[in-house]
Amino acid sequence: MDKQNDWRNKFQEVFQVCSEELKKTTEIGKKMLSASKTNTTLHETYEELGVLVARAIKNNELQWDNEKVQKLLMKIEGCESDLKGIEEEVNDIRFSEEEAAKNNEEKN
């Protein structure tokens, strides 16, 4: 009987420790999820601010004589140009495939 009580006590101890660790892990998970959401909001806000500043500089509403800013603006313009070119290429491919399919249908 004494061994059975020892076993039960050990089991209850292990269960209690596991339960406490699970609670801690859950709380940490909640905090990490909250931090992730906050970090995403921060990133989006910085991005929005950057877009507004870039537009203001481009429209001469804001003067910022800084070499790093000018390099970043040039990089943005390059990326925008690249994206425009890619979009045009995709449209060319898409519409040429649609026209080819249309021509095949007309032949049949």
| Contact present, 73 and 54 (Cβ < 8 Å) | yes
pLDDT, average across residues 56-69: 94
Show Cβ contacts of residue 69 under 8 Å, excluding neighbours closer than 6 positions: 57
**pLDDT tens track for 79-100:** 999 999 999 999 888 888 777 6
**pLDDT tens track for 19-35:** 999 999 999 999 999 99
| Contact present, 69 and 57 (Cβ < 8 Å) | yes
| Residue 75 identity | K
Domain locations in the chain as residue ranges: 1-63, 65-108
**The overall pTM is greater than 0.75:** no
pLDDT at res. 1: 59
Q: Tokens 């979009």 correspond to what residue? A: 87
Q: Tokens 């004494």 correspond to what residue? A: 2
CA distances from 36 to 27, 31, 43 (A): 14, 9, 10
